[in-house]
Amino acid sequence: MRIKFIMLLLCVFANTSFAQDAKEKYVLVIHGGAGTILKKNMSAEKEAAYRAALTLALQTGYKTLTSGKTSLDAVEATIHILEDSPLFNAGKGAVFTHDGRNEMDASVMDGKTLMAGAVAGVTTIKNPISAARAVMEKSEHVMMVGQGAEVFAKQSGLTIVNPKYFYTKERWDGLQQAIKEDSIKTVLDHGNKKTKLGTINRDYKFGTVGAVALDKSGNLAAGTSTGGMTNKKYGRVGDSPIIGAGTYANNATAGISCTGWGEFYIRNVVAHDISAMMEYKNLSVADAAKAVLDKVGKMGGDGGLIALDKLGNVTMPFNTEGMYRGTVTADGKIEVQIYK
Amino acid sequence: MRIKFIMLLLCVFANTSFAQDAKEKYVLVIHGGAGTILKKNMSAEKEAAYRAALTLALQTGYKTLTSGKTSLDAVEATIHILEDSPLFNAGKGAVFTHDGRNEMDASVMDGKTLMAGAVAGVTTIKNPISAARAVMEKSEHVMMVGQGAEVFAKQSGLTIVNPKYFYTKERWDGLQQAIKEDSIKTVLDHGNKKTKLGTINRDYKFGTVGAVALDKSGNLAAGTSTGGMTNKKYGRVGDSPIIGAGTYANNATAGISCTGWGEFYIRNVVAHDISAMMEYKNLSVADAAKAVLDKVGKMGGDGGLIALDKLGNVTMPFNTEGMYRGTVTADGKIEVQIYK
């Protein structure tokens, strides 16, 4: 009887161990924004272009990781691809502010050291994610905004471009459309006396990009980069450059990057809340991410997020129609998804 | 025997109940910055001035609360007193940046609705805390930076002043001293090849003000306002305008306002982490605040914070030499402290 019991225990342990070994371990997860992304509104060519860009980003990050570089290197290299593509609202392809400028925000965090860096409202830095990393590694600060951040980026040797570099016809047309719609909306709202300064059009707030990586040493890193909201005014800053809201990484829990209606993500301190639920309530990364996104949804906010835990478990929840997203596992298998 | 036991039980309940009733319920707590504040360096006149300003701030907030206004009103009115005093590093009395400007940050959060507002890098708004509140209440945004925030504040009817309003001789002299010391420090550091762009002088980062209030309806609110760091460069932003880092309020847990070495407060998402520990680990406000400040200290950061929970329990930990701080209880009893 006692031997039988010990045998049974051994079997249980063996099975558990086997199950963990066989489980897919994700090493990189990315997003290219959540929003009203519907198959019926998407041409085959456009969908193919998005899939190609997301795949290239994942391949680049994977190559970085397999060459022995860090999760931080992988996050930066991956986001460069998304920033350099005109398809996403970050870097080249950033949306325009009300004044016709491209003002970008980005942040990055290292899960091993809890070091972090962020820039907000920058207009001349080709790759804002690299500026965020420079703030983290080459200064004793965490956040720099506006012209000061640009001076710092230049002194750090980053590529500075003419603001015209960020122009794309699609985004410019988007601004003209937004201005037109907002002026109609303002007239209607004034009738109801409900207009606030800085009213948000639900459709103009999406397209942020982000990446979370886990390297061979077991270190997590997360990064987020965005052009913000089409037609934004008053130097509005969303959650992307806010450590704890749009980006967070901690080797003890997970790396997280968010995309969506930034105001709700700041108020819910989304990225850190996921980490806190994992650390203090022992929730899995998927359960914690779901619980926090539910809070955002209950308040009336929408969007999505990607999260990767220290064991390589991934979750990519969103409460919008779609979210550009993709993963690559340790064996190099790439998956890209767009719709629900 | 049974009757004796019931009597004993009743006594225990009665005592518990009595203890809770008799316990002081705090309704407002403030700080005026943590740092190298030593009695030996303080003249009797200066100490008296600080005590008078802190007392006036507490009296003002208490009057606001007892007149039936909200915790949010009390936080704003209290911080106005501290911002208008040249003694604290916020509003009038803000420190100077490297370029000789006063760039201020502030944030506020409503524990009932989890609404929040923040401004960063503003130079013409007399009371930045009111600009943060206007962002929260009069826009759909949470954070605005720089000139855009100033335009918004003006459109919201706030008092706009000439930047010269913020000049004080003491802060100007402080900048000249800081520039001198930093240039010596830079030469020394270059010898050790350890200089980073944006190096922080430990003594230049303190003086932020903040308040947390609990009103008769049981609603919490928290706010923080700062002039940032003497001699700061590159548009550096600290934790004060970051919801979750320098400020957080949630009726389910507590209201928190931080002061100290902002970079460490952002990386540790200090204010939200205290709330999360209370919510997910059932820690008391004092235990949670201590645990999180310990994390900051272990990383090499210093400063302090004030926290007030939904039951009126208060804690004001700091790991520096001193922290300007004060409380008022429901019965109007005011206490002001400076040193350890």
> For the segment A215-274, what is each residue's pLDDT rounded down to a tens digit?
999 999 999 999 999 888 899 999 999 999 999 999 999 999 999 999 999 999 999 999
**Does residue B258 carry a pLDDT above 80?**
yes
Residue A37 distance to chain B (closest CA, Å)? 23
Interatomic CA distance for residues A309 and A291, integer angstroms: 16
Name the active-site residue from A208, A224, A320, A327.
Answer: A208
**Does residue B170 carry a pLDDT above 70?**
yes
Residues of B in contact with A144 (CB under 8 A): 198, 234-237
What pLDDT does residue A221 have?
Answer: 98
Q: Which residues contact A260 (CB under 8 A, 6 or more apart)?
A: A34, A205, A206, A208, A296, A301, A302, A303, A304, A305, A318, A320
ipTM: 0.91
**Does residue B242 carry a pLDDT above 80?**
yes
The overall average pLDDT reported for chain B is 90
Residue B160 distance to chain A (closest CA, Å)? 16
Closest CA in chain A for residue B248: A267
What pLDDT does residue A37 have?
Answer: 86
CB contact under 8 A, A272 and B277: no
CB contact under 8 A, A234 and B267: no
The overall average pLDDT reported for chain A is 90
* CA neighbours closer than 13 Å in the CB half-sphere of residue B338: 19
What pLDDT does residue A17 have?
Answer: 38
**Does residue B15 carry a pLDDT above 60?**
no
Span B170-174, mean pLDDT?
92
Distance of CA A229 to the CA centre of its chain: 15
CATH 3.60.20.30 fits B23-339, yes or no: yes
CB contact under 8 A, A266 and B151: no
What pLDDT does residue B5 have?
Answer: 53
Interatomic CA distance for residues A71 and A89, integer angstroms: 23
Span B220-249, mean pLDDT?
95
CB contact under 8 A, B273 and A276: yes
**Does residue A295 carry a pLDDT above 50?**
yes
Span B257-283, mean pLDDT?
97
> For the segment B116-128, what is each residue's pLDDT rounded down to a tens digit?
999 999 999 999 9
Please confirm, yes or no, whether B208 is among the known catalytic residues: yes
The beta-carbon neighbor of B146 closest among A145, A200, A242 is A145
Between A187 and A327, the higher pLDDT residue:
A327
Span B16-40, mean pLDDT?
75
**Does residue B18 carry a pLDDT above 90?**
no
- Residue B207: pLDDT band with limits 50, 70, 90: confident
CB contact under 8 A, A266 and B244: yes
Name the active-site residue from B124, B208, B259, B320.
Answer: B208
Please name which of A311, A292, A330 lies closest in space to residue A253, comparing C-alpha atoms: A311
- Residue A11: pLDDT band with limits 50, 70, 90: very low
- Residue B35: pLDDT band with limits 50, 70, 90: confident
Domain ranges of chain B: 23-339
Please name which of A255, A267, A340 lies closest in space to residue A305, comparing C-alpha atoms: A255
Judged by average pLDDT, the poorest of A206-210, B134-138, B329-333 is: A206-210
Closest CA in chain B for residue A148: B234
Interatomic CA distance for residues A166 and A226, integer angstroms: 12
